[in-house]
């Protein structure tokens, strides 16, 4: 059985990026949404990515960014792919695909998974996060894992929302996601990670 893949998101500091990048993770997320407390300037990110391990995937998190701006940031920084955590449409995603940009669509789940909505996007991978009226992620709220477990579809799930070292094993056992996405659950404060918490999280999965 394959190990659930791990993405640590919301990193803002170069030293932490390099330290976490040397751990047993698969992807690292950088928030490029200015209102977020985890926002990182593209110029700063541009200095970090070349120093990360070569097989670590770097993912830029965007919220309702214009296509032109998003493409410009991806090309400037060297990001491998993007995570769309806003209200982006299927047409928006098609436009990115045509420009050669790989993407993951983030869906905030309020009570039930809207599979009709998922099926309007041409992707078999979706990031599911907890619903919030005011925020687009990083709230620390958890999803109802039992409802996700009961799904009857072929979609591969990247599970986000309130994951931390003391609950990640239960979440994986219930949902069997392709990957987990963790941000606030391994933080000291928004954008500043606890390396000890990241290590404990990994130990629960590896």
Query: Which residues are known catalytic residues?
Result: 9, 129
Residue whose tokens read 């109802």:
144
**80 near 102, Cβ under 8 Å?**
yes
Is 186 in contact with 193 (CB distance < 8 Å)?
A: yes
Q: Nearest CA to 57 among 132, 114, 7, 2?
A: 7
β strands within 55-100, DSSP E: 57-62, 81-84
DSSP 4: P
Can you list the positions of beta strands (E) in the chain? Answer: 5-9, 27-31, 57-62, 81-84, 103-109, 125-130, 156-159, 179-182, 187-189, 192-193
The residues near 173 (Cβ < 8 Å, ≥ 6 apart) are none
CA pair distance 64, 89, nearest whole angstrom: 10
């Amino acid at each position: 059985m394959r190990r659930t893949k791990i993405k640590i998101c919301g990193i803002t500091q170069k030293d932490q990026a390099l330290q976490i990048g040397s751990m047993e993770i698969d992807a690292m997320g950088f928030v490029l949404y200015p209102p977020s407390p985890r926002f990182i300037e593209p110029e700063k990110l541009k200095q970090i990515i070349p120093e990360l391990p070569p097989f670590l995937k770097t993912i830029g998190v965007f919220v309702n960014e214009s296509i032109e701006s998003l493409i410009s940031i991806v090309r400037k920084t060297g990001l491998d792919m993007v995570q769309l955590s806003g209200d982006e449409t299927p047409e928006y995603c098609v436009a990115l695909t045509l420009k050669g940009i790989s993407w993951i669509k983030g869906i905030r789940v309020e009570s039930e998974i809207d599979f009709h909505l998922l099926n309007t996007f041409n992707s078999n991978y979706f990031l599911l996060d907890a619903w919030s009226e005011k925020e687009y992620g990083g709230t620390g709220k958890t999803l109802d894992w039992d409802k996700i477990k009961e799904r009857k579809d072929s979609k591969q799930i990247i599970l986000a929302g309130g994951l931390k070292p003391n609950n990640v094993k239960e979440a994986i056992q219930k949902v069997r996601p392709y990957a987990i996405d963790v941000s606030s659950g391994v933080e000291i404060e928004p954008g500043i990670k606890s390396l000890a918490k990241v290590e404990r999280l990994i130990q629960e999965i590896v």
